[in-house]
Amino acid sequence: MEVERLVKKINGFSLTLTVLLVVILLFPFWGKILYPIKYSDKLYDAASFAGVDPLLVAAVVKAESNFNPRAISKKGAMGLMQIMPETAFWLAKEINEPLAKPEELLDPEKNLVLGTFYLKYLIDRYGNLELALGAYNAGVANMDTWLKKNKAENPNLYPFNETKAFVKKVLWNYKVYRFLY
């Protein structure tokens, strides 16, 4: 009787181990389908040029547009990285990148260059990834106000639920991308 129980435990353990091994081996395959890096050459080039981890850029793009280069938000943010035209024109002057009209933000390469430099600017400005992501979503003016009121140290304290959710989503995406790639 004890031998049968031991055999069942061993068989159960073997089955569990086999299932676990299969899931581990297949998850990267399925994970890469769920978390692709589209426009990877352009994304990696822009990230390298700006000095930002390309997997972080992919995490932002996944959260912002799910890699839809033609995405336009209700507030007017455009393209892969959902850049507001006013921000794009300011940034284009700062980095000497030609930008004549807002529709150019629908070009993946242009959007990735500007969005990645903007992300780098925010990371350097705030010295903290969570604060930079909060500012990316809510804007620099809002982040500066929250910091003055001492409400921005923790993303859970952001007054905007959208910003809380965005920061959490990007950080989750970033973890997944680092695991998969």
154 vs 79: CA distance, rounded Å: 28
Given the residues 2, 4, 64, 109, the one annotated as active site: 64
Q: Report the C-alpha dihedral over residues 151, 62, 106, 143, rounded to 10 degrees.
A: 10
Count of other CB atoms within 10 angstroms of residue 32: 14
Q: Is 130 a catalytic residue?
A: no
Q: Is the dihedral of CA 153, 155, 161, 163 positive or negative?
A: positive
8 vs 13: CA distance, rounded Å: 8
Active site residues: 64
